[in-house]
Amino acid sequence: MKREEKASISIMKIICISIMLILISGIGVLAVNTKLNDVKITLQNGYEMTVLTSKSKVSEILEENNIVLEENQKTIPNLDSEITEGQDIKITDKSYNEVQIAKISEEGAQTTLDQLLQNYAPITEKIVVEQVTIPFETITKNSTTTTENTTNKVLQQGKDGLKEVTYKIKYQNDVEIEKTVISEKVITEPVNKIVQVSKVVTTRSSTLPRTTTTSTTTASAGGAVYKITAYCPCSKCCGKATGRTASGTKATAGRTVAASGKFAFGTKLNIGGHVYTVEDRGGAVNGNKIDIFVNSHAEALQWGVRYLPVSVVN
């Protein structure tokens, strides 16, 4: 009986040893088939950590070590890259640009340390608010169809406006490399300059200056030379539109003239070979100046200013 128990115990020992050998062999095979690598991961704040992993893809390695990227972060190499032996993972800002610099250029000149550091300088961003002038515009209101004998009158002075512009500016080595407008806010609207262009017309009113187009006729012999202008019965020329003269007669083209008080009403004047009658006065008519009555304002403008000999007809 004892022999049988001893034999049974020996068989059990053999079976246990065999199972252990099989397990050890399986673990060895699994270890051979699974290659483990040491990978160094450098975080954005400069902290370095070395992990032992069987993964080869960057995203899988980060996930395995519970590392989550923020929205403004990226990895070098990128998340979809496969890590090779001896290659590290670096987590940095998305604005960071890694520049590959050759030690020797085509001409054979070696890159200096200053150039190397300059190309690897970090990029910084700043939010800058500036006030920018908004220039005013000049608006011209032209009330006439001609460019001759016109006058300009400023109805409204112009004034520049002001706006506040917010920029996002990127710098590298304290040099601006990119400037983007984020928003604009108008502080003061510009005020446009308004200029009215109008035609200068003849007027007899003492309150309005007389200015007319220049149309000069050379005076001939036979009397003193007077400055001869023309007027019509409109309110622009007379300040009223009654058609009545200062002497009470009805103004008539080809007959009526306005002269100073040195000529009595009814005096006949030979003006440039045509006889007129003094029937009207005018605040702007004085000295050697005479106004000839015409039917329309257009005729008055067409007459302009003429210098003609004038003599009294007895």
pLDDT recorded at residue 138: 82
Within a domain: 267: yes
Q: Do 225 and 307 touch, CB atoms closer than 8 A?
A: yes
- The pLDDT, as a whole number, for residue 166 is 93
- Is the model's pLDDT at 154 over the cut of 90? no
Residue 279: give its domain's CATH number.
2.40.40.10
**pLDDT bucket at 308, cuts 50 / 70 / 90:** confident
Q: What is the pLDDT of residues 127-152, one digit of tens each?
A: 999 998 999 888 777 655 555 566 77
Mean pLDDT of 228-250: 82
CATH of the domain at 59: 3.10.20
- Whether 69 is covered by a domain: the verdict is yes
Any bridge partners for residue 167, and if so which? 128, 181
Averaged pLDDT for residues 3-27: 70
Domain count, the chain: 3
Residue 232: pLDDT over 70: yes
Mean pLDDT value across residues 217-222: 40
Greater confidence (267 vs 242) lies with 267
Check whether residue 185 and residue 151 sit in a common domain. Answer: yes
Mean pLDDT of the residues in the chain: 77
Work out whether strand 73-76 and strand 138-142 pair parallel, antiparallel, or are unpaired. unpaired
Q: What's the pLDDT at 277? A: 94
Going by pLDDT thresholds of 50, 70 and 90, the confidence category of residue 259 is: very high
Residue 36 makes CB contacts below 8 A (sequence gap 6+) with 52, 53, 54
76-124 tens-digit pLDDT? 888 888 887 778 999 988 877 654 444 444 444 455 556 655 666 788 8
What is the structure's pLDDT at 33?
53
Residues 246 and 306 in one domain: yes
Structural domain including 252 reads 224-312
Whether 102 maps to a domain, the answer reads no
Domain presence at residue 1: no
Q: Report the distance separating Cα 149 and Cα 143, nearest Å.
A: 13
Asked if residue 213 belongs to a domain, the reply is no
Q: What is the pLDDT of residue 104?
A: 45
Span 183-207, average pLDDT:
73
Residue at 58 is within a domain: yes
275 pLDDT tier (thresholds 50, 70, 90): very high
pLDDT of the residue at 291: 92
> Most confidently modeled of 90-104, 159-173, 237-251?
159-173
Q: Which of 164, 198, 232 is the last residue of a domain?
A: 198
Q: Residue 268: pLDDT band by 50, 70, 90 thresholds?
A: very high
Shared-domain flag, residues 168 and 240:
no
Query: Is 151 contained in some domain?
Result: yes
Lateral strand order in the sheet of 175-188: 123-134, 161-172, 175-188
